[in-house]
Amino acid sequence: MSRICTITGKRPVRGSIICRKGQSKKSGGIGTHVVKVTKRRFRPNVQRVRVLLPTGQVKRVWVCVKAIKAGKVTKAA
């Protein structure tokens, strides 16, 4: 399943998990250092909902929850 919102076009974006080691300066150490950087993906919360199109047709589409909460989608009963 491709996690792309049909309304807003939101899609997964790339990021990093940064692993740090050491005692912070605030706690009396010499500071933390980056040990490892691992790639990760931020995925949008996409749900499959029945949407009422402007033509009056009902269709199932993948929509992110942010668009549903904002009221950009008219749900079909």
CATH number of the domain to which 43 belongs:
2.30.170
Q: What is the pLDDT of residue 33?
A: 97
Domain membership of residue 75 (yes or no) is: no
Q: What residues make up the domain containing 39?
A: 13-70
Domain membership of residue 47 (yes or no) is: yes
Q: Look at the chain and report how many structural domains it folds into.
A: 1
Domain membership of residue 24 (yes or no) is: yes
Mean confidence (pLDDT) of the chain: 94
Q: What is the pLDDT of residue 1?
A: 67
Residues 66, 45 contacting (CB under 8 angstroms): yes
Domain membership of residue 4 (yes or no) is: no
Distance (Å, whole) CA 59 – CA 38:
39
Q: Is the pLDDT of residue 15 over 90?
A: yes
